[in-house]
Amino acid sequence: MSMRFVDEYRTGDVAKRLAGEIAELVEPGRHYKIMEVCGGHTHSIYQHGVEDLLPDEIELVHGPGCPVCVIPMGRQDDAIAIAQRPEVIFTTFGDMMRVPASNGSLLDAKSRGADVRMVYSPLDALKIARDNPDRQVVFFAIGFETTTPSTAVTLLRARAEGITNFSLFANHVTIIPAIRAILDSPDLRLDGFIGPGHVATVIGTRPFRFIARDFQRPVVVSGFEPVDVLQGVYQVMTQLRDGRCEVENQYSRVVRDEGNPAALRAIGQTMELRTTFEWRGLGFISQSALKLRSEFAEWDAEVRYEVPGVRVADPKACQCGEVLKGVIKPWECKVFGTACTPEHPIGTCMVSSEGACAAYYNYGRHAGRRRREEAPAPA
């Protein structure tokens, strides 16, 4: 593996040159709000301190694309109910372990005796099922279109191999309805979007066209290295200067306009749209999530196990919804940094490393202060 590939996109000289070019595109007196939809971008922006390189007039607004953040409390309760069954080995991505539910997290359930195991891929969960034929292995399937194909492929493989002690608790969501919900909401003014590069790898760039066509906002599908993000901002700013609204593809080294047909086929074969699905903080959004097709009922944990299936309201103080929509900054939440911290999160945005609150708390706090202190004193 050659790591030069990554390092090329982390070069200080290139980043600074781009930042200079972005600054030149700023119209005096205008304030720009650009939303990065994807949690991966949020993480990269904070990890590399990208905001330090941007002029004050450009504000990056963190969007709803953090897969952990959007899972509602009721679904997390359901997951824990399944995990606590004595016959079950419950497998999950590490991030989900610490998400608070009504009565503690999966990590707490594990400390009370539930067999909860962290995996890096659903195929690892399938392997655990193969190795433990006398146990029931359930995989907590979450994520946007980025992770859905690997779940679909795992399901197809489970069927092909006739592995029946394996099932999925499907919580896959789709990004487009969430973006539409944000564009429809009256309390937010956005100038443009950094489109989610990984999701677009699967679904292509075409599904984002409605943003340019119906809402007259530029979209630049971008990669995840800091130079990618800066390039994305540059392209959005260029479109704004030129008065254009188009979908552009900054991440063409990976993303094709038509997406990945094989991945889309695997999803279509195994899953179908739910009528509606609850998103943490955003409420119910119609046709925004996937469930297993009925021919895969045997591998569907929701069919196999009785779960509470109760809608649980978010804690009153939690403002994850407004953070996810970009209406407020993480620090503007009433409980940010006091009752809600990475050690004891109340809301999901404080759990995942892709969540806006966790990213701001862990990496980004003081960035604004540093910028203000370093800025020359007004004459």
110 lines the binding site for another protein (CB under 8 A): yes
Count of residues in contact with another protein, rule CB under 8 A:
55
Residue type, 79: A
DSSP SS3 for 325: coil
Beta pairing class for 290-292 and 219-222: unpaired
**Residue from 369, 375, 376, 377 binding another protein (CB under 8 A):** 369
CB 275, min distance to another protein, A: 32
Residue type, 137: V
**Residue from 70, 97, 266, 301 binding another protein (CB under 8 A):** 97
331 lines the binding site for another protein (CB under 8 A): yes
364 lines the binding site for another protein (CB under 8 A): yes
Q: Cβ closer to another protein: 9 or 208?
A: 9
d(CA 20, CA 274) in angstroms, rounded, equals 46
189 lines the binding site for another protein (CB under 8 A): no
CB 59, min distance to another protein, A: 13
Q: Cβ closer to another protein: 50 or 182?
A: 50
Strand residue runs (E) in the chain? 32-38, 58-65, 88-92, 115-118, 136-143, 166-172, 192-196, 219-222, 247-249, 271-273, 276-279, 283-286, 290-292
**Residue from 134, 160, 343, 375 binding another protein (CB under 8 A):** 343
d(CA 114, CA 107) in angstroms, rounded, equals 9
Site map for another protein, 216-255, x if CB under 8 A? ----------xx----------------------------
375 lines the binding site for another protein (CB under 8 A): no
CB 222, min distance to another protein, A: 15
d(CA 83, CA 299) in angstroms, rounded, equals 16
198 lines the binding site for another protein (CB under 8 A): no
Ramachandran category for residue 125: left, alpha or beta (phi over 0 → left; psi -120 to 50 → alpha): alpha
Residue type, 40: G
Question: Could you give the angle at the alpha carbon of 190 between the alpha carbons of 184 and 196, nearest 5°?
Answer: 85
Binding footprint of another protein on the chain (CB under 8 A): 1, 3, 6-7, 10-12, 15-16, 46-53, 94-95, 97-98, 107-108, 110-112, 118-121, 124, 226-227, 329, 331-332, 334, 336-338, 341-344, 353, 361-370
